[in-house]
Structures are given as structure tokens and as C-alpha cells.
């Protein structure tokens, strides 16, 4: 370049090429998705939960997020603990049996996962598609669910419906399908709740309308004879609207009916002591009136 004949330029030094976009490290990407919590980015520890989109979380992180939702912006679809499912995982029996590194600062990756499929034995490390059942939370590989054509869980024995499986850490298409399913499910739940509330409101309204008397047909309540007024007692017999000649006599807050012949009609079920509390009009006429001269004790 300096005309001294000692340097030979290369093509990349003379021509500017378009830089290729940086590619993700696949192993590191799988490690982050399957071994770390989506919210706190800490290692997954029991109890492990999964949302309706198939992402893995620590239950402790979910509780912290529900208390303070500003710590994560990727979990806004989680409204409460009802939106997550506790996973029933199967541990790998050979995990952790290898020897540790000879040096303290060294790390040996044995490429072994902590959990496996209980049917096929495949490791849950991201290289195979895994699903979980929302009804019981058991985790299986997608291959095992396709091979075993049954509606009974092979681990806990619970019943489930085909097609309700949720893919763990699925692709973008899987996440889009799960998002649509989640929104549809929540819309149906809101509609059912609204319909139930409306039906209850209609039931209460109909019950109140039956309790109130109707004034469209027949005489109004104001024209009907009233029997709750003190001092008089009216009754209708054989279609006759004329009131009978009967009066009510009260003594010490208790009452008895006086017929037209002047006799008091008592309740036959009452005792003589109770009947003695009432005053007979005939006895009242013949009763000696008080006078101050005779020192009558009634005076």
C-alpha cells in the first residue's frame, strides 16, 4: 500500500461486505429455556409451574411477580395462580451420578437433563418436544402421547381430553396457537359468568314481582275491608259484604271477640286463668261502682 512492495492487501480490506446477523448459540438458548426461570432467570427448582403458553417458572417467582408486576414484562398474561399449573415431573435416575470436576473452578457438562419422560425415557433438554396435561400437570414427550392412544394419564391415572395438551417452550407458531386458545377460553368463561349473573338477576326480579299483589284485575286493596283496625272486627260470610255486629275487647294488651248477644267468645284452647283476664260486659254493668263514702277498694 505504501509502494514499497512489502505489503499485499486482502479483499476484505479493500471491499466492505455486509455483516451477517449474529446467530444465537443453540445450546445456550436451550439451557436458558429449559433450565432457568422465565421471570427471575434463576435455576428451576421444585415446585415448577408452567403457564398457558408453555413457559417454565419457579412458583416462588410467580408469587413475587403477582405482588409486584413491574419486575417482568413478559408474564402479563398471568393474572393469578389459577393461570399456572404445577408440573408433575419425573426425575432422571442417572442425573448427578457422574464425577465432579477435578478442579474447583472447572465445569463438566454431561449433556444430561434433570427430568425425563416417564413413558419413553427421553430427556427433557429441549431436543425433543414435551407437553404437559393441564388437568393433572403430568409431563410427557410428544412422541409418547402420540404412541399411547388413550385418554387416561399414564402416570397418575387421571382422565384428560385429547387436544388439551400444552407444548412446553414451543415454536412461534405453537405460541400463537396457544395464545388464541387462551383468549378463546377466557372469553367463554367471561360470557358464562355474565350469563349466570344475568339469570340470577332475572330470577330475583321474578320472585319480587310474585310477592307484590297485582292491581290490574279486581278491586284495589284500598277498597277491601280492613280488619286490622282496633276496636272493630269485620268479617265476610256467604258472600255478604255487611259487617257482623261483633266487637273486640282488649284488656292488658290482650283481646277477645264480643258477639251480638253480648257474650264474650273465648278461645277454647285457653285456660280459665287466661279467660279471667278479660271483662264480661254483663258483669261490668252489675259491678258496684266506686264511691268515696263507702271506702270501696275499687275507688
132 vs 228, residue with greater confidence? 132
Higher pLDDT among residues 61 and 242, named by residue: 61
The mean pLDDT of 261-283, rounded to a whole number, is 66
> 166 and 27: one domain?
yes
Strand order in the sheet with 48-51: 56-58, 48-51, 84-86
Strands 247-251 and 264-265: unpaired
Does some domain include residue 140?
A: yes
pLDDT in tens, 6-34: 778 888 778 877 777 877 778 888 888 88
Kind and range of the H or E run holding 210: helix 172-211
Per-residue pLDDT averaged across 227-250, rounded?
48
How many whole angstroms from its chain centre is CA 263? 67
Residues 256 and 167 in one domain: no
Beta strands 166-167 and 247-251, pairing class: unpaired
State the Cα–Cα distance between residues 74 and 85, nearest whole angstrom.
17
Q: Which of 173, 188, 210 is the last residue of a domain?
A: 173
Residue with cell 339469570: 199
Please tell me whether residues 161 and 256 are part of one structural domain: no
Q: Minimal CA–CA distance to 165: which of 125, 137, 128?
A: 137
Q: Is residue 35 part of a domain?
A: yes
Degrees (nearest 5) of the Cα angle 94, 150, 169? 55
* DSSP one-letter string for 53-109: T--EEEHHHHHHHHH-GGG-SS-TT--SGGGEEE-B-EE-TTTT-SPPPSSTT----
The C-alpha cell 470436576 sits at: 101
47 with 135, same domain: the answer is: yes
Q: What is the reported pLDDT for 97?
A: 64
Q: pTM of the full predicted structure?
A: 0.56
Split into its structural domains, the chain has a count of: 2
Domain assignment of residue 271, given as a range: 248-286
Same domain for 130 and 259: no
Query: Considering only 27-31, 157-161, 179-183, 272-276, which range has the smallest mean pLDDT?
Result: 272-276
In this prediction, residue 131 carries a pLDDT of 92
Q: Which tens digit of pLDDT belongs to each residue from 23-62?
A: 777 888 888 888 899 998 898 998 999 999 999 999 999 9
Residue 114 pLDDT: 87
What is the structure's pLDDT at 27? 82
Q: How far apart are the first and last CA of the chain?
A: 147
Q: Is 75 exposed, middle or buried (0-12, 13-18, 19+ CB in 10 A)?
A: buried
β-partners of residue 132 are 139, 166
50 and 160 in a single domain? The answer is yes
65 domain-assigned: yes
Count helices and strands (H / E) in the chain: 7, 11
Amino acid at each position: 500500500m505504501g509502494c514499497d512492495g512489502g505489503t499485499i492487501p486482502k479483499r476484505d480490506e479493500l471491499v466492505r461486505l455486509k455483516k451477517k446477523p449474529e446467530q444465537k448459540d443453540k445450546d445456550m438458548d436451550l439451557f436458558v429455556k429449559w433450565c432457568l426461570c422465565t421471570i427471575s432467570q434463576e435455576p428451576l427448582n421444585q415446585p415448577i409451574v408452567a403457564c398457558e403458553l408453555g413457559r417454565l417458572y419457579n412458583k416462588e417467582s410467580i408469587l413475587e411477580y403477582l405482588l409486584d408486576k413491574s419486575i417482568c414484562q413478559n408474564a402479563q398474561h398471568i393474572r393469578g395462580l389459577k393461570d399456572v399449573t404445577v408440573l408433575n415431573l419425573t426425575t432422571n435416575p442417572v442425573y448427578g451420578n457422574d464425577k465432579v470436576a477435578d478442579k474447583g473452578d472447572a465445569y463438566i457438562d454431561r449433556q444430561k437433563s434433570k427430568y425425563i419422560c416417564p413413558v419413553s425415557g427421553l430427556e427433557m433438554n429441549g431436543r425433543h418436544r414435551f407437553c404437559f396435561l393441564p388437568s393433572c400437570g403430568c409431563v410427557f414427550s410428544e412422541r409418547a402421547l402420540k404412541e399411547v392412544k388413550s385418554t387416561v394419564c399414564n402416570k397418575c391415572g387421571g382422565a384428560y381430553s385429547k387436544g388439551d395438551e400444552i407444548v412446553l417452550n414451543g415454536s412461534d407458531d405453537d405460541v400463537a396457537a396457544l395464545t388464541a386458545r387462551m383468549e378463546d377460553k377466557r372469553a367463554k368463561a367471561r360470557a358464562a359468568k355474565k350469563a349466570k349473573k344475568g339469570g340470577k338477576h332475572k330470577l330475583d326480579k321474578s320472585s319480587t314481582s310474585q310477592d307484590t299483589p297485582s292491581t290490574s284485575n279486581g278491586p284495589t286493596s284500598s277498597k277491601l275491608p280492613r280488619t286490622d283496625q282496633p276496636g272493630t272486627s269485620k268479617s265476610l260470610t256467604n258472600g255478604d259484604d255487611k259487617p257482623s255486629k261483633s266487637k273486640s275487647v282488649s284488656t292488658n294488651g290482650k283481646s277477645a271477640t264480643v258477639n251480638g248477644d253480648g257474650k264474650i267468645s273465648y278461645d277454647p284452647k285457653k285456660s280459665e286463668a287466661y279467660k279471667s283476664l278479660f271483662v264480661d260486659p254483663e258483669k261490668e254493668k252489675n259491678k258496684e261502682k266506686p264511691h268515696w263514702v263507702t271506702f270501696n277498694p275499687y275507688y
